[in-house]
Structure 1
Amino acid sequence: MECQKEKFIDLPTVNANIIKEIPWAEEMRNVLEDGLSKTFLYWCQMVLNMGENEEVVKSWVSIFIKTYEETCCELVSDMERVQSNVLLKIEQLLKEFEQLCYTLQISMPVLGDTTQKLSLHQEQQELKKHINEYKKLIEVRRCEQKKLHEKQLELCNMLGKEPKILMDNPLPSPEKLEEFQQHIEKLEAEKYNRLEKFCTVKEELLEIVSELNVEPSSQFEKKVFSSDDSVFLVTDENMKQLDLLHKNLTRQQKNVKEEIVHLRNKIDDYWNLLDIDLKEREDFRQKHIGNSLDVLRALQKEIKRCEELKKANIKVFIDKLRNELKQLWENCHCSHTTRMQFGFFNSDCYNEDLLELHEVEITKWKKYYEENKELLALLEKHAGLWNKMVGLEENATGPNRYNNRGGQLLKEEKERNKLAKQIPQIEEMLYNLADKYKQHQNVSFTTEGISVLDYLSNLHEQRENAKKQKLSARKMQREQTLTPAKSALSLFPSTSHMNLRSGTPQSTTKRKHGTPMTNETKRLKVLSERKPQKGNNTPIPTIKITSISKRLSMERKKRINKIRRLSSKKEASHSNETFTADYGKFQNELSNKDGCRSTIIPSEVSACIPMSSRTLRCRTPTGTLIATPKPSGQKTPTNVRLRPRTPDANNKLSAAKPNIKLIF
């Protein structure tokens, strides 16, 4: 009882205002106060009616108070127990809520309104509400994380990579989850890139395998060439093996192609040496087309067969190789010394070793030719242009250079101008290529045993020497031709004068325009143009030059007849209609003018001139003109130039410039 009394007394004093305006509390208080008052008064009435002594009443009072206190204590204890249970639940909820916040990696929020304190029940309800929300959020995140893990695992299995682990508790933060999502996207992109690369490489490999005609042997190759692409996993290891396979097959394809090309060329050489029938060659080519391993084996077999035939005809092969080697030496501009360095060229010990030595030598010069192909080609081009230029120069100084050749002179002049530009350019290129060769090989490039510079210098020197020799030869020929004329004219007195009449002396010969003068004609012209000496009254003797005139006349006749024959042939090759129309028009115009015609025949001229006026005029060595009458019965020399008549001012035909093309 004392314990209950102490507990009852220890109960805290609570302000009555806490139940103010709380209906159920005020109602309960009213019920308890009314019931306790009635119970207490009714109990007191019964005690008083019984009239017991004071001690008995005190014991009854003690029992009543004790029972009341016990009842009150039990009620309070029950409520304390209920409150304790509620607090315990709230504590558990708080722990759970705290764990959920940790799992979600968020800070624990404040429950309720900060201005109003929540009751235990309200706090419990708020906790339950937040716990349910956080549990749903955790479930959603874990579901997303699981999907991402599964996707990552699939991609990693496909790519052969180690998966990235995400913590399940606590769950990754949104930032971490975003990074993980990006990681998966990268894996997916890498997967598609590898699949695309695999498809591309597979297509190339199928072409190579089809060309080589090979079958996959290993399990890996079978997976690669399988019709189901999903069988091949694009892992790191598989992609490395795929690259290695592609590299090996590509190298094998290249080697097979090169080997096939080499064998085909070698077979062609063997066929040429063996004189294999063309039909047999074509049948073999048509039967073995492509670059497969079967073709390679067939070519190797053919090589072996040709080598066996070659052994049986080794002398014939060596002779053909020697002819080929000669041609290579010519193409490479090899000197005699260089050719003699190959001492086996004239060996008569025909065996495999000699054949192999010739093949090695041919291979060596073929390589040399290919390496210096541009330089050798320029040398050949320069030689062709140089010979062409020398030929044009010879034509330009030839005796028939002024003959009518249909505009050939103009063409040759244009060609010379063109060559004068091209040859220096080619020589400059040759100098540059020769310098490059010397820088790379540390030796000078030679043609026929001399350097390019010396070779070109020799060509120019030979050209200049040839020009000088031609000039010297002409000079000697001119001196030899003028020697008879000098001996004939030495008979004339040096003091004689030929001043028969004043005026410009005329040439003693009539020369066609464009026809070169002979040496004697030039000599006479020089003598006729010499001035007479002043103060010399020596009598002028008569000079007979009939023999010289006759000879010049005969030469002129022959030359004119030859030119007329050539001109007639050339004119006959042209269109007769155009020539006839042009000449007919010209003849009609002349027919309308009296006393005019296109050509004067020498015989008609001599018939029109009186015999008394037919005199020969010549000039003595002193420069004096003399005239000798022509003896009767003597023919007029055809090479004597007639004195031209003074043109009549009233005659339009004689005053006009002639536009007629002479036919001789």
Structure 2
Amino acid sequence: MPSRKSESLVSSMISGINIALAQLEDLWDSMGIVEEQRLERVLTVKTYMEDLLRRMIEEEEACRSRLKANIVTSQKQVAELCAELMETPCEMEDGLSILQLEKELRCRLEALTAEKNSRMSDLETLKQEDEMLCMQLCSTPHYVPSNVVPSRAQLKALQEHVAELTAEKATRLAVSTALRKDVALLGREIGHDPDTSLERDALSDDPEVFLLTHDNIRALQELIGKLELKKRSLISTRDKLKERAMSLWNRLDCPEKDGGFPLDTQGTLTDDISRWKVEVERLEELQKAQLERVISKARVELVDMWEKCLFGPEQRQPFSTHLYDANYTEELLLVHDAELVKLRDYQEQARPLLDNLEKWEKNWTLFQDFERKASDPSRFSNRGGALLKETKERAKVQRMLPKLEEEMKGAAEAWQRTHGTAFLVRGQKLMEYISGQREEYKLQKEKEKSERMKKTDNANKKGDSTLFKTPTKRAMMSTSTSATPNKVVKKTPNQTLAITPNQTVVRGAAISSTLTPVQFSKPPLGPSKAHERAPLQEFNGGECPAITYSDFTSELSRKNSQEAVLNSTVCLDLERGAK
């Protein structure tokens, strides 16, 4: 039946090809294609069909080759697995096609692989249990050939060995548990902390931590003897300290000898010794008074060096134990001196960075001062060129800050490459510290702006229309408070101000006594520009959240342009008009 269907399909395909060729003939006839051109087209069709069939034949031949290769590979793998698992080699039926044979071998291979994986998994689990028990009992693990698939008999022998070790573990555990309880009791009595791995394992809450070997059990018995000996030694030490304290009480005529100091407590022997030791040390403090003064002076110098080196809390923390040590001894003084020497070396190595940072902080402070002064309109009423001097100083600071930051960035990177650690300033990386200062200043400006806006809103709600008036000087070319009507005063190139009645001329600018906005003849100020601020006002008004150096430079570079309005009184008047 399949052959008949395929033959019918082939016949149908041939018929379709003939029909298609006939249609091509008709098309060529209708187009008037000559015989030579028709021959070329027929050859093209023939070449295409032959190439298609050739490629299909090649693909099918490649598929048959792959199947044969898979059969050979599968037969080899099946034979190897049968040998590893000690199974009888499988025989395939005769008369199977290539596809059927390949499928049978593949299924057989999958089954043998699953059996191998199962045995190896069981072997791994049993080996882990055997190794753990052997480690705890210090015995020899059961031998199983490595890199070989175990037989079922080998797996059974390993299981029996694991069961025997489990029973032995239970017996040793009962003995070791009693010994560990004795160790814990003696430790509590004398206040002893475990200082060896054996003691820590014996006192561990996890019983599996302690290895149940014969050596460890003997070691526990010896440990009990040592702890009993230590108990007697601690009792002797406590009695000696007690005797020393009583001797000092009698010598110094202290009230503790009459009952002010508790002689007996319910604590451990170690606690009793510590308590008596503290009392003895207290009684001997008088001998250390002079040494205490020297160490205190060294500590003051040490704190001063920390401040000079800009150390943060984390950098000071390692020495805090010595800094607050009340045991004034010569050894402690040597420790302080060594720390001072180390700090002086650090300061000498970091001097370029520290000097540049100090310069940056000074310039940063000046920059903030200039920003605060820029918000004060009274600075425009000064005489003697103070405003020009201030502008020059601001430009100098603006140039100095980025230059110093660039130098410090390079120096900090070189420091990290040399010393392997970042250069810290009060616990922060240098550039993070500088960025933090800028961010803090930005937040402060935003806070001030919010407060000003809040005050303005409150004033508007109360109906307070009083506006800040810029202090004025004597009117130019006139001593009166009024100017000639319709007088035009030239302000800057390409700009004129139309002076109306009831206005005062101040340093070339017209300010109305009724605070009327100034009208420019060129260029006109339309309604869309009413709320724009002049460049100098925007820079000096103190209303920006943060003023960057690029903004600072751009405003200075615009001072000679036709668009820049640098007259302060005009800026203020514009602002009043906008409001």
The two structures have a TM-score, normalised by structure 1, of: 0.28
The two structures have a TM-score, normalised by structure 2, of: 0.32
Larger radius of gyration: 1
